[in-house]
A and B are shown apart, each in its own frame.
Chain A
């Protein structure tokens, strides 16, 4: 009886492995930033909002987006919004028009695998 159970367990595991192997969706996509508006290192007119697209849907409430001015101070923004149609897209509205200078966007989020990923990038607001 024990041997039969052991063989059954082994066959089940091998079958599960084979099924998994035949599944096409095998690429493990690690959580990170896919793109942004404004783009990193770009020069743009004062943006109304900062928009981030992640490589996977972040865990609920894990996303933080901070807009930091050239002096290193935190700028006031609206609440963090998740796009209801594209759940990988998050944005914050800038409360005021940005003056010319180099700004920093610092972001963080938690992926499916529980890893906290954080990074920052800068963009420049044109004088015009």
Chain B
């Protein structure tokens, strides 16, 4: 597997999880069932939840593909040139802890896909199952990554990693859902002036803020646990990659802050929604750059120089 495909595999996995989290966030936090018909109109709910289902389906289809690539990547590294591929694949999948975790992860990804593909926005039980499966699958990166390598601290590193992935999903997936709902709404109403943003963005801000706090806390905890020393930030490949990630995270936070403090109050102005659409799209773009660098980070040993 080429280094590019290797990194894209990680990005697909994180991207798939974030996308599924976007759908879950839409259903339970942005357009919660008890608000439909009260503070949220039926037509708005129909559009946003329709988008949430499509987003979930996109993430759901991506995840088994990403998990398959993860297995192929691991198998390629595990290869014994004196044994057959089938022999090595069987040993990796059925004989190692990594393989057991992968089998559960792959099964969960298939269930996530099937659940989202068969979901109707009115069926609450399906959404509960989708949320639980997405949460369960979000522990996969931690169980097969650096979080599991912190001997004696797994009780905090693995839940911390799960919270990190979930919070990233709520933030970036949620924002993606806001933008796609807006796009779908404008397309449906055929009116460029008709916007959902003044309704959706304030709700999203209330969700995004705690998600960002959780992201920063769990990210700091992970960096502190994985870096052998502060100087490792500049002396190891892991540290240098982490600096790149932090720089990109700073850019995303800055855009998010400007969206929140500068553009949100202007959403009822003529140019406010357009400014928000552009700025939020930029935030999502940089967030995916963060996911790409995270994919590199998960493949880099914290000890190697």
Contacts and interface: CB of A to CB of B under 8 A. Distances in A.
Q: Are the chains A and B members of one assembly?
A: yes
B302 A30 contact: yes
A110 B98 contact: yes
A19 B159 CA distance: 15
Contact of A108 (B80, B160, B221): B80
Interface string B50-79: 000000000000000000000000100110
Given A110-B98, A113-B145, A17 B74 contact: no
B148 A112 contact: yes
B225 A20 contact: yes
Contact of B145 (A28, A114, A118): A114
Given A66-B82, A114-B148, A59 B228 contact: no
B1 interface: no
Contact of B153 (A10, A23, A111): A23
A113 B96 contact: no
A117 B156 CA distance: 25
A37 interface: no
Contacts of B221: 13, 17, 20
B66 to A, nearest CB: 15
Interface string B175-201: 000000000000000000000000000
Nearest to A27: B228
Chain B interface size, under 10 / 10 to 19 / 20 to 34 / 35 or more: 35 or more
A64 B96 CA distance: 12
Nearest to B153: A20
A18 to B, nearest CB: 10
Interface residues of A, number: 34
A62 B98 contact: yes
Interface in B63-122: 74, 77-78, 80, 82, 91, 95-98, 101
B217 A17 contact: yes
Contacts of A114: 74, 98, 101, 143-145, 148-149
A111 to B, nearest CB: 6
A112 B149 contact: yes
A97 interface: no
Given A30-B301, A59-B97, A113-B145, A64 B80 contact: yes
A30 B150 CA distance: 9
Nearest to A6: B210
Contact of B148 (A19, A21, A66, A113): A113
A4 interface: no
Contacts of B146: 28, 113
Contacts of A27: 228
Given A20-B156, A23-B153, A113-B149, A13 B217 contact: yes
B3 interface: no
A25 B151 contact: yes
Interface in A50-95: 56, 59-62, 64, 66, 74
Contacts of B302: 28, 30
15 contacts: A13-B217, A13-B221, A23-B152, A25-B151, A25-B152, A25-B153, A28-B146, A28-B150, A29-B151, A59-B98, A61-B96, A111-B149, A113-B148, A114-B145, A116-B74
Interface of A: 6, 10, 13-14, 16-17, 19-21, 23, 25-31, 56, 59-62, 64, 66, 74, 108, 110-116, 118
Interface of B: 74, 77-78, 80, 82, 91, 95-98, 101, 143-153, 156, 160, 210, 213-214, 217-218, 220-221, 224-226, 228, 301-304
